Every structure is written in C-alpha cells, then in structure tokens.
Amino acid sequence: MNRSNYQRFWAIAVIGVILVFSKMFGVLTLADWQPDLQKMSAQAKEAYYAGNLDKSLETYREILKYEPDGRSSLQMASIYEEKGDYLQATKSYEIYLQYHSNDSQARLDLAIARYNQGNYASAEKDLFNLLQKEDLDYVFAREAAYYLSKINQHNGQYQKAIIYADQALKADSKFALATIQKGWIYELLGETDQAINNYLAGLTLDGSLKGVQRQLGLLYFKKKDYTKAYDRFDKALDENDNDLVSKAKLEWLETEFPGKYKRSTAPPEPKNFPETVKFEQISPLAEAAKITKIRVGLAGGDSQKVVIFRVGSDFQVKDLEGEVLTTGEAGDIWMAELKGKTAELVNYPDGKPLKFTSPIRIEPVEYVPILIHQVQFGEGYYWSGKQDRQYRGQIELMPKTDGLTVVNIVNVEDYLYSVVASEMPSSWPLEALKVQAVAARTYTYFNLGKHKSAGYDLCDTVHCAAYNGISWESNSTRLAVNETLGEVMTYNGRPINAVYSSNSGGHTEDAKDVWGFDLPYLKGVSTLIEDSEVFPLEPADLKDWLRKRPGAYSADPRFANMVQYRWQRRVTRSFIEDRLNIGKLQELKVTGRGIGGSVISMLVIGDKGEIELKNSLRSNLGGLRSNRFFFRPEYENGQLSGYIFYGGGWGHSAGMDQVAAAGMARDGINYDDILKHFYTGIDLEKKY
C-alpha cells in the first residue's frame, strides 16, 4: 500500500469511528466541549468572597470567552473598581455596554471610573447625558449629580457645583454626601455661615460622619465663636484622638482663656448640681426573691476619678462583710474620690471623710432609686455624652489603681426594664418589645460573668447591652418584660448567646463570619419582604443591592432611619493614616466576606507596613455603621485621596434585627415566631 493510500485508509477509519460514536451517543456539538459556566460563576463568586480578587477575575475572564454578551465583564468591572484599577474597570464597562447599551448603572459607573482616572471632560459628558434620561432611578440620578458637582468644583465652577449638589439632594434628600459637598463648596467660596449650615445639616442626616466636626471647629474658630469651636474640636478629638489640628486648637483655647474651657472628660463637681432632685417612683417585683442578681459595670466599667450620688431614701454604707460603715439621709449629695492609693467617701460639703481601700456598698433602706450624677455614655461614638441617671438596686464602689469602678447590683428582671427601653424605642409594637425582652434576658444569662475579671458581670454599653437606668423605662417596656417573665431561648437545653443588632440591612450574617466561630442557632437569614435575592450575591449585584433600598422589614419607615438601612460615607486617606501606623496609605484590600456581603477582614496597606483589621474594622475606617459595604477608592490629580463607602445596616448583623422585628410585629407576626426566624432551631423555656 503506497503512502497516499495508507493516509486515506486511516482518515476513513477515523471518520468511521467518529460516526459510530456519534450514532451511539448523539451528534457532537460545540456545546459538548463548553465548560460548566454556572459552576465557574460559582467559583468566581466564591473566590471573591474569600478575598481572592485575582482568582475571581481570572475565572470571570474565562467565562467571558464563552459568553461575551453576559454579565462577567460587569462583575470584573466591579472588582477592578474595588482594587482601584480604573483603567481596567473602564475597559470592562465598555465591553459590557457593547451588549447592554441601555444599562444606566453601568453607564454611571463607567463615568465614575473615568472621573477617577482624571478624565473629567469625558465623565462630565456621560453624566450629563445620563441625567437627561426619563424615569432615571433615584440612585443613579443622585450619584450622577453628585459627581457632576465634584467635577465642577474641581474646575472652579462653584455655582454650578452647588446646583448639581442640590439636584443630588432633590433625587435623594437623605444623601448626606451631597450636603457635605455643598458645605465644602461654600467653604471654598468663603461663605462661612452657609458652609456651617450645610455641615450641620449633614450631621443631622447622619451624625456618625467623620471629619465634619473638625471642619465645623475651624469655621467657628474663624468666626471667633470660641465656645462652639471648642465643643466641635472636643468632639473631633473624641472620634480621632490623633487629630493633631483639633488637639492644637484645644490647647490654644485652654491657654488663651484659662479656666473657661474644659474637655468633656473632666470629672463632675458637686457645686454644679442642684440642691434637690426628683426621684423616680418604682415598685418591686413580687417574684424578686427568686430572680438572679447581676452586677453591671456603669460608665462602661471604666474607672472614675470622682463619683457623685444621692439616694431616694435614707441608706447605709457597708463593707462586703455587711458591717455598717456610715449612714446617709435621703437626697443628700455624696462624693467618692480616689486620692492616691486611698478612696474617700464624704457627705458634701462638710461631712467627715470615710476612707476605704476595699469595695463598699450603698444600700437604700427602702425600695428607691440611687441617682448618679454625670454618668459617661457612648464613649467613642458620635452620640457620646454625660447624663444624670437613676438605678434600681444597690451601688458598689470598687477602688482601683486609677479610680473607682461603679457597679450596680440588681435582679435580672429589674435590669431588663431598662435594657429593653434602652435597646428599643418603647413606642414600638408590644410583640417587638417582647422579642427584645426575651433576647436580652437570654443574652444576660448566657453572658453572666463576661467581665468577671473586672469585678462585674456585664457593662452598660453596647459591648454587652445598653442600660440607661430607670428614666428610660416605660409602661410598655415593663409590660413586655412582665409578659415574658423568666422566658429564655435555649438550644440543646442551654441558654443561647442571643446577640442582636439595630439593623441588618436586609440580611443577617452567620456567627462564623462575624466572630470566627460557628453557632448552629446564629445563621444568616433574609429580612426582605419579597425574598427574591439568592445570597451570596455576585460582586456587581452586591454593589447594586447596597446602593439601592430594596423592600425589607429592615427598611420599614415607621421604625428605620434610612441612613441606618443604607448609608454612604467618604473617609479621607489622612483619617485612616492618623488611626493606623502604616505610613502613607496605598490600598484597602478585603480578605473575606460573609454570606450577606459583610467584610470579615481587611488589609490596610501602607508604604511602612500593613495591618489586618477584623474587630476594629469599623472604628478604624471612620466609624462605619456596619461591616457590610463595598467601597470605591477616590483619586484627585492621580493621587489616592480617600474612599467612598456604600453600606447597609447598623451593627454586627448577627442574630435578631431590631428594626426588622418591629416591622414583622407590625405585620402581625407573634414574638415567638419572630425569635425563631432569627435564631435557628431554638426552644423557648421558662426559668422561673
């Protein structure tokens, strides 16, 4: 057989084999050789949530080869945005828009990417054209106008910049970024009063905005309104204790006007309090004798240099052995103070000091409140301050090396009267208040001894549970506690760690994605009214979800402040650099997300090192309301200037969502069913 016949023979043989197999198994097509794109998409999403952005991009890029008209290019664009690679983000948006030219969100994001590349003319044209579209979604309208304002500000067209900022606010009156933008433009124009008014309006919309207090301080200082300037610099230093500008201004004012100004951290003085006060009227529970007593560290459990108090009846001061050390009369002012290594208790102003180095206890002879003047609350938060508060039970003063720890000894149900009211508005539906009562009671029993090493069980802050004293109680919150008296949630017969947060933003998170350990009863659940989303979402879909306000029990306008459900925040590079010792900030890099999109961990990379943020992520990035956000790096003149965060929810987002519980209660859902929605597989049991 010659060579040509040989080749022809084998060609015919191969074709024959192919025909046989085609007959046996069906005709082969290109689709038979195409990879499983759905599986690849899941892998790309998994890599994104694991913080492996390069792997996610690689997988989406491979999908794009087989589906050039699909959404892979959009997912890639969102990831490139997060990385701050706006050149590649622009290219990816352009690819996507070849097939989806009417997608307004993609057109908006393409324009923003061009803005961050410094291509202002192109970005301005795209944004202007977008605003001409009829029935444009309010999110796209507000952001297009906002960036047009920033472009015109950059070009020195300040009046046009103000017009566009107003247009952004017309689209969304809750868009605090546009209000702050207006303030900044007025400041550039030298219109100080207008700038102040807009900054104040921004804080009214969202009191947690960072950097605004310092700007207000500088403007008041410019006006020589030194009292207001001092107050704002004081607040600015509370939110960022490395704010050298505010620190210098405070020191100048204290030096220039000695004795006139004092930081809010100064201890209280008895001479500043009225001679008489009105005590709350309270009654004891009949079941009090069988209810557990707990120890609550007041003022966050932090040591106090001075403690000033009064009692609603005559009282005794005892040591821990029960020996009476001294007695006092109703309404008198008493002051305890650490002096060196010894503490002193004195009936102000002329009483004989009682010296003590071991804990002492103030015990009223009747069931009446104890009033403590100027209790510190919310330290480190924008709503921090001091307030006179009255408490049930007894007060213990524990001398420490740096001051006195104040502990309230009270039974659990008396404690819950205040906790429920401190954690949830008393005007909310009774079923929601009962949800809160059972959750708080369960949390209390699970966490007894949480601060044992410090001498108390729980603190009075959101680190444990907010506990603001008797004046916060109401008939409705007492009713919620009484109607669920002794009721706790259990799993396998034991009380659960019944954590809760203000607002989950539409979906709660697994405990393992918040704290790193798995709890079978703390699984992420949706609070969307129409549960059409399948979590976890792909990158572009997560971004879209966090920009809009999808219908959810968490967004019920009767209970939710919209800047808690969906919020925006611009944080400057310098703010982050002040908080962390990493030199010049170069990059923020997410290294893990939870099922609902919450950031588990993040690397902050600077030219002098990097640091991983987990538990302190929110505070170090500007007091973010939650860990659930996407962010966009911002560039000015080619240099990183800061980050814009778009987020959802307020709090850690694990367990019960308080706003959603209220919305569900308003829709007629019973408190026990609400609890079982948020806490998987639990039982309800009575302790007494």
The pTM of this model reads 0.89
What single string gives the DSSP state of each residue in 397-441? EEEETTEEEEEEEEEHHHHHHHHHHHHS-TTS-HHHHHHHHHHHH
**Nearest-angstrom CA–CA distance, 450 and 222:** 48
Question: Quick one: 102 and 14 in the same domain?
Answer: no
Is 606 part of any domain? yes
Instruction: Say if residue 14 is in the same domain as residue 94.
Output: no
Residue 349: asked if its preceding bond is cis (omega within 30°), the reply is: yes
Is residue 522 helix, strand or coil? coil
Is residue 671 one of the residues assigned to a domain? no
Give the helix/strand (H/E) hosting 373: strand 370-377
Q: Is the pLDDT of residue 28 over 50?
A: no
In a domain, 661, yes or no: no
What is the residue type of 687? K
Amino acid at position 210, single letter: K
* Residue 459 sits in the same domain as residue 573: no
- pLDDT averaged over every residue in the chain: 92
664: nearest Cα among 408, 436, 397: 436
Residue 217's closest CA among 207, 205, 209, 225? 225
Token pair, residue 299, equals 């003022």
DSSP designation for 613: E
23 pLDDT tier (thresholds 50, 70, 90): very low
Helix then strand count (H, E) for the chain reads 24, 24
Query: For residue 382, what pLDDT is reported?
Result: 64
Mean pLDDT throughout 658-686?
98
Task: Give mean pLDDT, residues 302-310.
Answer: 93
Kindly tell me if the per-residue pLDDT of 15 is higher than 60.
no
Is residue 666 one of the residues assigned to a domain?
A: no
Residue 19 has pLDDT above 50, yes or no: no
280 and 340 fall within a common domain: yes
Residue 106 lies in a domain: yes
Asked whether residue 678 is assigned to any structural domain, the reply reads no
DSSP state of 669: -
Residues 435 and 515 in one domain: no
Structurally, the chain folds into a number of domains equal to 4
Distance of alpha carbon 551 from alpha carbon 563, whole angstroms: 15
- What DSSP character marks residue 240? -
Residue 595 and residue 547 share a domain: yes
82 and 108 in a single domain? The answer is yes
Residue 478 lies in domain: 271-495
The CA distance from 628 to 616, in Å, is 14
Which stretch of DSSP H or E encloses residue 356?
Answer: strand 354-356
* Environment class of 415 (CB within 10 Å of its CB; exposed 0-12, middle 13-18, buried 19+): buried
Give the per-residue pLDDT at 263: 73
Q: For 185-220, what is each residue's pLDDT tens digit?
A: 999 999 999 999 999 999 999 988 989 999 999 999
Whether residues 532 and 482 share a domain: the answer is no
Contact by Cβ (8 Å): 396, 409: yes
Task: Please tell me which residue, 6 or 85, carries the higher pLDDT value.
Answer: 85
Instruction: Decide: 686 and 486 in contact? Cβ < 8 Å.
Output: yes
| pLDDT at residue number 639 | 93
Last residue of a domain, one of 463, 495, 527: 495
- Residue 266: inside a domain: no
| Radius of gyration of the chain from its Cα atoms, rounded to whole angstroms | 30
Q: What is the predicted pLDDT for the residue at 33? A: 64
The Cα–Cα gap between 198 and 178 comes to: 9
Spatial contact of 310 and 334, defined as CB atoms under 8 Å apart: yes
Helices (H), 172-243: 176-188, 192-205, 212-222, 226-239
Q: What is the pLDDT of residue 348?
A: 93
**336, β-bridge pairs:** 307, 345
- Mean pLDDT in residue range 96-121: 97
> Is the separation of the CB atoms in 493 and 575 below 8 Å?
no
CA–CA separation, 86 and 59 (whole Å)? 19
Q: Is 16 exposed, middle or buried (0-12, 13-18, 19+ CB in 10 A)?
A: exposed
Say yes or no to pLDDT of 578 above 90.
Answer: no
Q: Choose one of 461, 495, 529: the last residue of a domain.
A: 495
Residue 271's pLDDT band (cuts 50, 70, 90): confident
pLDDT at 21 over 50: no
CA distances from 265 to 296, 377, 379 (A): 22, 11, 10
> Above 60 in pLDDT, residue 7?
no
pLDDT in tens, 528-565: 998 678 899 999 999 999 999 999 999 999 999 888 99
Q: Kindly state whether residues 319 and 248 are assigned to the same domain.
A: no
CA angle 558, 561, 567 (to 5 degrees): 145
Specify the 3-state DSSP secondary structure of 632.
strand
383: confidence class by pLDDT, cuts 50, 70, 90 = low
The sign of the torsion formed by the CA atoms of 524, 528, 534, 538 equals negative
Q: 354, exposed or middle or buried, with CB in 10 Å at 0-12, 13-18, 19+?
A: middle
Residues 181, 76, single domain; the answer is yes
pLDDT digits (tens, 9 = 90+) for 429-469: 999 999 999 999 999 999 999 999 999 999 999 889 999 99
* pLDDT range class, residue 2, cuts 50, 70, 90: low
pLDDT at 483 over 90: yes
CATH code for position 209:
1.25.40.10
- In 509-597, where does DSSP find H-type helix? 511-514, 539-547, 562-565, 573-579
Task: Please give the average per-residue pLDDT across 48-58, as a whole number.
Answer: 97
Whether residue 451 is found in the same domain as residue 514: no
Q: How confident is the model at residue 6, as a pLDDT?
A: 52
For residue 656, what is the enclosing H or E element? strand 656-657
Q: Write the Ramachandran bin of 623: left for phi over 0, alpha for psi from -120 to 50, otherwise beta.
A: left
557 and 425 inside one domain: no
Question: At 347, is the secondary structure helix, strand, or coil?
Answer: strand
Report which of 344, 342, 310 is spatially closest to residue 328, judged by C-alpha positions. 310
Residue 384 included in any domain = yes
